[in-house]
Structures are given as C-alpha cells and as structure tokens.
Amino acid sequence: MYYTIDSWYILLPAFILFLVTLFIGTRKKDYRAGQYFLLITLAIYLLAVIHLVFFPVEVYSGEYKSSQPLLQMIFQEFNFIPILTIDTPTFVLNIIMLIPFGVYLPLLNGKVDSAKKAAKYGFFLSLLIEVIQLTIEVTLGSGRIADIFDIIANTLGAAVGFLIIRKLVKIKIFNVLVSKLSLAKSE
C-alpha cells in the first residue's frame, strides 16, 4: 500500500489555529500592527519551510515498506560524511532557506545579538528538521534524506540572515521599520 499526505491538510488548519491563538492570546498585550505583521509573516515563513522540508509525505506499507533493520536504515538514510558528497545547488538553497530565520531572530529576541547566537538557533532548528525527516523516513518511508550538509547550510543561512538585518538597521529608514516591527525590547 502506498499513499501521499499533502501539506495543506495539516498546514492550513495549523495556520488558522495559530491566528486564533495569536489574536485571543494577545488581547491583553499592547501589540502594534507591525508586530502582528511580524508574527503572521513568521508563521507563514515557518509553514513554508515545513512544506518544503517535510511534504509531501509518501507513506509506504505492506510490500512497499522496507524490511531493513532500524539501525541500518538510519545509517543508510542519513549522510554523515561532509564534503565528499556535497550537492552544491542544494547546499546553496539550504543557506537561502534559513536566511529569513536569521533576520527574524533579533526582531523576536533581543538576546540574539551576534551571528554566533543566530547560528546556534539555526543549528538547533536545522537539527530538529533533520531528526524529524529521519524519523519520518524510518517510520513511514517518505523518501526524504537527512543530511549533515543541510545542518551546516541552514546554520550558515541563519548567521547570514542575522548579518543582513544588522547591516540594514544601520540605514535610517530600515531602522525605523525594524523598531515598528520588533518584539525585542530596546536596550
């Protein structure tokens, strides 16, 4: 048996639930329109990332399901060896994918004040993505492969995004815009 789970069945209800939670949960907070805009665009961005990295989930069962031992599948489905097997276009796309995450970080959390801290958050997000991809592959046979290069590229992308926002806030018009959007407390 083989079937496909498309993203819209999960992501659209998740987005609606997010919007309801956002507006009900922030009634007592004094959020400006720009801050709501920031949170809604962040949610859309994260849903787009989830759509790209997990969906469609192709579920294999019965005669299509792999009969390999779990440990063998994990080592077969995860690329642990960097440099030897690099796919440059995919590496660049993974950097690009997490640049917006690096831009959002200092707007959401004032403690993210260096590229190193942004890279740390990017690393943990990427690691979470790769572990979930590996779990889905091992349990459902989705065809997604977890890769150490994705973690490296995503971490780099978050740091690059942070550096971009730091350069942009030095320009007066962007600094004004960022101050209207930011949830981070000014120091």
**pLDDT level of residue 186 (50, 70, 90 thresholds):** very low
Mean pLDDT across the stretch 175-184? Answer: 90
- Range with lowest mean pLDDT among 41-50, 102-111, 136-145: 136-145
Contact 92, 149 (CB under 8 A): no
109 band by pLDDT with thresholds 50, 70 and 90 = very high
Residue spans of alpha helices (H) in 82-182 = 88-108, 115-140, 148-168, 172-181
Q: Could you tell me the residue ranges of all domains in the chain?
A: 2-181
Kindly give, in sequence order, each residue whose CB lies less than 8 Å from that of residue 8, ignoring residues fewer than 6 positions away.
Answer: none
pLDDT at 69 over 70: no
3-state SS of 19-62?
Answer: HHHHHHHCCCCCCCHHHHHHHHHHHHHHHHHHHHHHCCEEEECH
- Determine contact, residues 164/99, Cβ cutoff 8 Å: yes
Given a cut of 90, whether residue 37 has pLDDT beyond it is yes
Contact predicate 148/81, CB 8 Å? yes
Give the pLDDT band of residue 136 (cuts 50, 70, 90): confident
- Is residue 118 very low, low, confident or very high in pLDDT (cuts 50, 70, 90)? very high
pLDDT category of residue 82 using cuts at 50, 70 and 90? low
- What number is the average pLDDT over the span 14-26? 91
Cα gap 26→20, rounded to integer Å: 10
Q: Which residues pair with 3 in a beta bridge?
A: 59
The model's confidence at residue 108, banded by pLDDT at 50, 70 and 90, is: very high
Closest by CA to 169, choosing from 110, 93, 117, is 110
pLDDT digits over 119-129, tens only?
999 999 999 99
State how far the alpha carbon of 72 is from the alpha carbons of 76, 112, 127, 138, in Å. Answer: 6, 39, 20, 10
**pLDDT, greater one: 111 or 27:** 111
Half-sphere exposure of 119 (CA within 13 A, CB side): 9
pLDDT the model gives residue 187: 39
